[in-house]
Amino acid sequence: MFSIEINSLEELPKVAQTFIETFKEERLFAFYGKMGAGKTTFIKALCRAMGSTDNITSPTFALVNEYDTKLPEKIYHFDFYRVKDISEAMDLGFDDYVESGNYCFMEWPERIESLLPDHLVEVHIEETSPTTRRLTANML
C-alpha cells in the first residue's frame, strides 16, 4: 500500500517520482476522487516524472489523450466522466489500450467499472483541506 499526505503543489514532483518507482512494474492505474480532488493534477505530475513534455490536459471530451515519455511506453490518459454507457468506452477500443502494455491512467473509472481489468492499481485522492490531499494506492 502507498499512502502519503500532499501539503502543496511543490511536493508533487517528488511524490510522483516515488509513486512511479513504487509501482514500476504496473501499467494500469484507476484514479478515484471527487471533482477537484486533484486527479488530473497528479496525473500531470506523473507524466512529467516519466519525461513527457507534452501538453497534459484532462481528456474530458476526447475521452483519451496520448502522451510520449522518455520511456519506450506511451501514456494513455482517460477521463470517463462524461461516459453515459460503457459501450462508448468499448467503441473507443478500451480493451486494446489496456492490453497494449502502455501506461493507462484512468479518471472516473467507476463509470466503466465492469470493463476494468482485475489487475490494476487503485488510486484514491481525498481532499483533507483546501491545500492538502491524502493519496492512497493499492494493488488489486
For the residues 84-89, what does the mean pLDDT come to? 92
Q: Which domain holds residue 118?
A: 2-139
Amino acid 93 reads: G
Question: CA-to-CA distance for 101 and 55, rounded, in angstroms?
Answer: 22
What 8-state DSSP symbol labels residue 6?
Answer: E
Report the CATH number that the domain containing residue 19 is assigned in CATH: 3.40.50.300
Cell (9 digits) for 75:
501514456
Per the structure, the count of domains in the chain is: 1
Model pLDDT, residue 117? 94
Given a cut of 80, whether residue 115 has pLDDT beyond it is yes
Q: How many CB atoms within 10 Å of residue 139?
A: 12
Quickly tell me which residue has 484514491 as its cell: 124
pTM: 0.95
Given a cut of 90, whether residue 42 has pLDDT beyond it is yes
Point out which residues pair with 122 in neighbouring strands: 30, 138
